Amino acid sequence: MIDLFSFANEDGAMASFYVVYHSGFGHTKCQVGAVRGGTASVSGLKAFIWTTDRTTSRLDALEHADAIILGCPTY
């Protein structure tokens, strides 16, 4: 059974996920804030919240992520 409130990867270490987003007018950034708030309540989960600009120079970090969430506006 999966415990939705406690996460760890295969070696028992804290699971990590990245939220990578672009926000043109602030709406997507607001939604990312809600995701950040939700992740704070989950034990064993490390969330990284990055803009697309920051991520572009650090793509190698995504290789080790357990999950990646992408957020972008619709125009």
| Series of mean pLDDT values for 10-residue runs along the chain (75 residues) | 54 85 95 91 90 94 92 89
pLDDT attached to residue 1: 40
CA 42 – CA 60 distance, rounded (Å): 25
The torsion defined by the Cα of 19, 68, 41 and 27, in degrees rounded to 10, comes to: 30
pLDDT attached to residue 13: 77
pLDDT attached to residue 5: 52
pLDDT attached to residue 14: 85
Locus of tokens 């969330």: 47
pLDDT attached to residue 2: 46
What's the predicted TM-score (pTM) here?
0.78
